[in-house]
Amino acid sequence: MNAAVKRLDVICIGRVAVDLYAQQIGSRLEDVASFAKYLGGSSGNVAFGTAIQGLKSAMLARVGDEHNGRFLRETLNRAGVDTEYLITDKSRLTALVMLGIKDQETFPLIFYRDNCADMA
């Protein structure tokens, strides 16, 4: 393909979510007092990572029409990801994951994905 015609290097299709990481390492999720918010989802992470490495990447997925969906879109845009195909779903919420780090081998996760936008 002619380099002048090539628009994208990578198209990521799939899950994009908000990851809430527990800030108290070693605690049970039940005992965590605070979380930090990050872009998550395997496809979302690949789109973000390839963009910050200089590749032209795009994200094809759905997010909810709410604060978390806007957070993901804005985070991807700031990294240089093409979000033209990141669809805003007005009837579903954005996927959310709570994560902890208990020790080197234990990483508790809770997925909130019931009727979420990226499953539509």
In angstroms, rounded to a whole number, what is the distance separating the alpha carbons of residues 119 and 34? Answer: 28
Enter the pTM of the model. 0.89
Which residue range(s) make up the domain with 84? 10-119
pLDDT score, position 107: 86
User: What's the total number of domains in the chain?
Assistant: 1
Per-residue pLDDT for 2 more than 60? Answer: no
**Is 50 within the bounds of a domain?**
yes
pLDDT interval class at 1 (50, 70, 90):
low
96 has which bridge partners? 18, 112
99 assigned to some structural domain:
yes
Within a domain: 4? no
Question: How does pLDDT run across 13-25, given as a tens digit for each residue?
Answer: 999 999 999 999 9
pLDDT more than 90, % of the chain: 76
- Kindly state whether residue 3 falls inside one of the protein's structural domains: no
pLDDT for the residue numbered 72: 99
CB atoms within 10 A of CB 65: 14
For every residue of 40-75, DSSP letters joined together read: ESHHHHHHHHHHHTT--EEEEEEEESSHHHHHHHHH
Is 5 among the domain residues? no
- Tell me, yes or no, whether 111 lies in a domain: yes
Whether residue 1 lies inside any domain: the answer is no
Nearest to 44 by CA among 83, 7, 6: 83
In-domain check, residue 73: yes
* pLDDT tens readout for residues 50-81: 999 999 999 999 999 999 999 999 999 999 99
Give the separation between CA 23 and CA 99, rounded to whole angstroms.
Answer: 10
The CATH number that applies at residue 108 is 3.40.1190.20
